[in-house]
Amino acid sequence: MKKSVLFLATAALFAACTNDSVRENIADDQVEIGFSTYIQKPVATKADNSSADRTNGLEAYHQNFVVNGFKNVANSDVRVFTNQLVTYADSKWGYSPVSYWDKSAAHYSFYAAAPQTVDWVFANNAYSISNFTAQGASLALVTADTPDAAAVFGAEDLMIATDIPEHKSYTTDAVNFTFNHILSRLNIAISKSQSIDGIVTLKSLTVNGIANTGSFDELAELPTGTTLAGGTTARWTASGSATLTAVKGAEGADVVVGADKQFVYQGLVIPQVAGVETINLDGTSTATQPYLNIQYTITTGGSNTQSYSYFYNLADLFNGNTDAALNFNEGWQNNLYISIGAAAISFDADVYEWATQTSGGSLEVQ
């Protein structure tokens, strides 16, 4: 009997030790929430506000972005990230302090904007920005048939990420954002027509009367019949007036215009509508809508140099005098290709016949 009692007591002690043990793999379940962006590849979907379907790593454009995020627990959204700064270093995106996945959450939602250095306002799961001024600086002169769709413009290139409303993968895989440009872009290239037998030199090219300040509201209502992907200016309110200036050649030299296209302006523009109006070619009229002024010279015979200066309504240049406005839609670029041609001044001559001034009587000699 004593041996049996001892056995039962030992069994009870063993059971007690087993019940008091702690799961040692709880820490292993805590997976850090990480972020990344798509790198140099086509994606299955298109941009939110354009037809673009190729992406590049955000680190080529910005070294930081801001994240706001929530976890949904028991049908309630709990804030996880509030304007969290995410930076790129050592070939990866990171942030501090680190947050970990809550596997009891039904899902997470994430919203991001870049760069973080801009005064973004986040409310109602959307971003806005007030009174942003676009400097409109151009990229350097480049010879190319088409503009570089992946061109980098620096801190002025405002972007917001496609919303991730129901993220449910709580693994070590990073949350992958795709960002959308929300400014517009203007590119202007010039070339020389074969009709010119001489040297063409661009002295100046400006786009005048462009609105350069704007406020953005991601939640702004779109006009009936329009879609964000189809192109719109509705989420921006534009104001102000600025002049966009073409770049020079090496060491500030005037650009010698050849048969190949040269992009003399590639810059960012506040989304806006450029209206149509009639202006005088010589610039003597008063323009209220954006217009282009181009000044150049043509040199023939080595020493005969003539100067030219022409003014054009910008919308007319794009739409061919069709009375259609020009939309600088967010996320889209407008490309203007100017070919400088000329009709040579030539001469021909005719001579008037003699006209009779006075005709006297006839004289008959006998």
> Residues of 222-240 as b/e, b for ≥16 C-beta within 10 angstroms?
eeeeeebeebbbebbbbee
Per DSSP, the three-state class of 361 is: coil
Using a 10 angstrom Cβ sphere, with 0-12 exposed, 13-18 middle and 19 or more buried, the burial of residue 271 is: buried
pLDDT in tens, 51-80: 998 899 999 999 999 999 999 999 999 999
Distance from C-alpha of 133 to C-alpha of 156, rounded to nearest angstrom: 9
The per-residue pLDDT for 146 is 96
- Mean pLDDT across the chain, nearest whole number? 90
Distance from C-alpha of 114 to C-alpha of 93, rounded to nearest angstrom: 13
What single-letter DSSP state applies at residue 259? Answer: S
The per-residue pLDDT for 28 is 54
Distance from C-alpha of 138 to C-alpha of 145, rounded to nearest angstrom: 17
Distance from C-alpha of 55 to C-alpha of 37, rounded to nearest angstrom: 9
Per DSSP, the three-state class of 351 is: coil
Per DSSP, the three-state class of 360 is: coil
Identify the H or E element spanning 13: helix 2-19
Distance from C-alpha of 151 to C-alpha of 300, rounded to nearest angstrom: 37
Distance from C-alpha of 106 to C-alpha of 166, rounded to nearest angstrom: 9
Q: Which residues of the chain have pLDDT under 50?
A: 1-27, 39-40
**Could you tell me if 72 and 101 are in contact, meaning their C-beta atoms sit under 8 angstroms apart?**
no
The per-residue pLDDT for 165 is 96
The per-residue pLDDT for 195 is 86
What single-letter DSSP state applies at residue 223? Answer: P
Q: Which residues pair with 316 in a beta bridge?
A: none
- In the sheet that holds 333-340, the strands lie side by side as 142-143, 262-269, 184-192, 333-340
pLDDT in tens, 201-222: 999 999 999 999 999 999 999 9
CA proximity to 233, closest of 329, 158, 334, 130: 329
Distance from C-alpha of 233 to C-alpha of 183, rounded to nearest angstrom: 9
Q: What's at 28, amino acid-wise?
A: D
The per-residue pLDDT for 37 is 82
**Could you tell me if 6 and 14 are in contact, meaning their C-beta atoms sit under 8 angstroms apart?**
no
Distance from C-alpha of 116 to C-alpha of 114, rounded to nearest angstrom: 5
The per-residue pLDDT for 175 is 96
Using a 10 angstrom Cβ sphere, with 0-12 exposed, 13-18 middle and 19 or more buried, the burial of residue 80 is: buried
The per-residue pLDDT for 40 is 47
125 Cβ contact list (under 8 Å, min separation 6) = 68, 109, 111, 163
Give Rg (Cα) of the chain. Answer: 34
The per-residue pLDDT for 29 is 65
What single-letter DSSP state applies at residue 32? Answer: B
